[in-house]
Chains A and B, each alone.
Chain A
């Protein structure tokens, strides 16, 4: 089956399930768009469709690294998966691509605190005065990942990725409580807090950033993504389940 036929067919399948004007617009858009990513996001309704998807869709070229080393990436990916694990609700942070998300974020302005006041002099402040380190987020991640690895070596004589899930949870709990003593230059609890925030961002941001793969994060929460209008629903008691759309669907409009 060529991709165009596939898209048309799956589009029809999905259309039968959801209904409404939003779907119509999306399918039209999907067929006309040469990029494979988006269309797939609309078609994960049934097992059969999912299998077809795996065989048909080209590699996700966004899933490569801009900042982390492979080992750093694996630590972050494993930690994120414990923060937001796969379960009966659906995929976890790993499958949703949250670690790719933060890798890409760190490679850009966010990673070097580009729009933040980073001029000195630097003094430790009161908690009410907020962030006062001279570190960029790239440096914080370097410190954090090394701190985790050193702690795991010291306590378990293993790498973080070699630990059992229960042990990984122990490490993350120790981080959160600030009990890890292998961090140099940044508090472990603050790093944990950043990692947790970035995990949720990777799970729930628009798929254009590399996480929330196939809008799987949004679907779990019944969040419909970037809808143009809720006028027909806003004053109704029933909470509708609306198939999500991403910003990709706004291209060309």
Chain B
């Protein structure tokens, strides 16, 4: 029998960015809040030995222990889905702070084109521009509505950056842009001369010490080069453990319970009454009753909990009906170019996770797609995240991959190559979705989430087009050898690509085609809120966390409103 805990106003599943934001806002508003986190508690003190490429970047110290739980994957329905036995294509986080501890800090808000993608595409190009099977739909929100909530995230985290030449805003970043290393200056000058509109992207690595409106003070980034896959020992990179979680704690209304793995949402089909969870150290089971249940896990956790709890109508790819599991999307890469410089050395071993120069000229609908065989695009960036020696051994084509020649070239070019990348948008298809695997189980006997996903011609055509533009930029930058991207094979779960998985509990204005409304409130269970990138109706052409954060602030407002006035909020 599960032990029943004292009732709370709000129970949060997962103490990452969205859980932390809701915890801080709801606790400040006087609600009693408990957050259940399956992993351990963490703080900056955990990271005094963090400059360790092997332990953190390659042995995945901060990532989900896959021996307990993973996902299964197949490219299409005719394949047998098999478990992702090792980390690869994306890195799932675990522990207090969630993936918000090991992120790079690149902070952008998706474009208005993203939020109204169906309407705007049809307006400009007509209905026939959308290929058969692409389940493109609006998000039920606009950039204008969301922008003030994005600013809340920016202000809380102390985001730095420059003005965006294509997106004038009513506000300025609270901290000035980060220092520009020579490689990024070269990219900035070159792209500007070519007629592009470069800018310094929003960075959660502080450019100077900063105090936010909650009174949280953090130190400036030291450009040590250990952000992505690492936690920041200075607290210079905004993460939930140095921003929103301490604010929630300070109110006295918040309790954080680590090692608490949620197994089930308890509900009557219309409303939830709480959750059932297990302490992963003792195996003891508990019930946490609450007025409001907020799912703040990663995409796969949120969708899995809804499916195993039988809450919400599961998506059926045959009919296209149902919502839970629908519109799973990813991020499209393979269009970047690598340039080798014979006579120029760059300080690329230094850096910061979000230190980069970007341009949106080929993102969204900033360019005319009338004569193109794809929709959307992506943000092009040169980033300097800090190049570490085990994983970075690029050599010019034709060089052997081992032996003396390899050694000589990999050492020579370590500081002499640059790679421009692009975060390509990933658009939804009727046959890309998440459901429960029929065979494979997790440690607690629950089914694993099954991913059915592949790249499509839409993606391949976009990759070809943008890869050419990126290769031109690399040539203009003066690289002696340019290795262009442009070939996109089938989706492969092995090589690391991006931890930008989206969809499965998407937002929209219509309860028939979406799981949640713009407040992340479930249409089918009004006191359940499902936050994070699981609510993205497609994935845009930029890093998702800024948009996730903005939507979390809007959801927090909705949760506080709901606590006073129950009912559907829209």
Contact surface of A with B, Cβ cutoff 8 Å: 82-85, 87, 89, 92, 110, 113-119, 121, 123, 125-132, 169, 172, 176, 196, 199-201, 203-206, 208-209, 217-218, 220-231, 233-237, 239-240, 247, 250, 253
Contacts and interface: CB of A to CB of B under 8 A. Distances in A.
Q: Among A115, A169, A208, A237, which residue has the most Cβ atoms of chain B within 10 A?
A: A115
B75 A228 contact: no
A204 B389 contact: yes
Nearest to B384: A234
B52 A206 contact: yes
18 contacts: A82-B402, A85-B403, A87-B407, A123-B80, A123-B82, A128-B493, A130-B493, A130-B494, A132-B85, A208-B52, A222-B414, A223-B389, A227-B51, A227-B224, A230-B225, A234-B179, A239-B345, A240-B347
B2 interface: no
B439 A121 contact: yes
A129 B74 contact: yes
A205 B59 CA distance: 12
Interface string B363-407: 000000000000000000000000011100100000001111011
A231 B402 contact: no
Given A83-B403, A234-B350, A239-B415, A205 B390 contact: yes
Interface residues on B, range: 35 or more
B162 interface: no
Contacts of A233: 223, 347, 350
A108 to B, nearest CB: 10
Given A132-B85, A220-B411, A231-B223, A196 B402 contact: yes
A130 B73 CA distance: 10
Interface of B: 48-49, 51-54, 58-60, 65-67, 70, 73-75, 79-80, 82-86, 88, 179-182, 185, 220, 222-225, 345-347, 349-351, 388-390, 393, 401-404, 406-408, 411, 414-415, 439-441, 490-494
Contacts of A199: 402
B455 to A, nearest CB: 10
Contact of B82 (A125, A172, A196, A205): A125
Nearest to B74: A129
A222 B415 contact: yes
Contacts, number: 167
A128 B491 contact: yes
B68 to A, nearest CB: 8
A123 B440 CA distance: 12
A82 B75 contact: no
B149 to A, nearest CB: 32
A221 B391 CA distance: 13
Contacts of A172: 402
Contacts of A204: 53, 389-390
A213 to B, nearest CB: 14
B243 to A, nearest CB: 22
A181 B179 CA distance: 55
Contacts of A129: 73-74, 79, 82, 84, 493
A201 B490 contact: no
A163 to B, nearest CB: 15
Nearest to A90: B411
Given A206-B54, A234-B347, A84 B180 contact: no
A201 B390 CA distance: 6
Contacts of B82: 123, 125, 129-130, 132
B389 A217 contact: yes
A35 B355 CA distance: 38
Contacts of A247: 49, 51-52
B404 A116 contact: no
Nearest to B454: A128
A128 B415 contact: no
A114 B68 CA distance: 10
Q: Among A87, A129, A200, which residue has the most Cβ atoms of chain B within 10 A?
A: A129
Contacts of B88: 130
A221 B389 contact: yes
A117 B224 contact: no
A82 B403 contact: yes
B385 to A, nearest CB: 12
Given A89-B407, A128-B492, A129-B74, A239 B85 contact: no
B181 A128 contact: no
Given A118-B67, A247-B49, 5 more contacts: A89-B411, A128-B493, A132-B82, A204-B53, A240-B347
A117 B67 contact: yes
A234 B350 CA distance: 7
Contacts of B70: 117
Q: Among B67, B75, B404, which residue has the most Cβ atoms of chain A within 10 A?
A: B404
B350 to A, nearest CB: 4
Contacts of A126: 75, 79
Contacts of B414: 221-223
Contact of B224 (A118, A176, A230): A230
A130 B84 contact: yes
A116 B66 contact: yes
Nearest to B349: A223
Contact of A205 (B53, B60, B65, B349): B53
Given A227-B224, A230-B223, A233-B350, A117 B404 contact: no
B83 A117 contact: yes
Contacts of B53: 204-206
B492 A127 contact: yes
B18 to A, nearest CB: 25
A75 B133 CA distance: 55
Given A230-B224, A235-B180, A128 B411 contact: no
A84 B390 contact: no
A41 to B, nearest CB: 15
A128 B75 contact: yes
Contacts of A236: 182, 347
B67 A169 contact: no
Contact of B65 (A84, A115, A253): A115
A239 B224 CA distance: 15
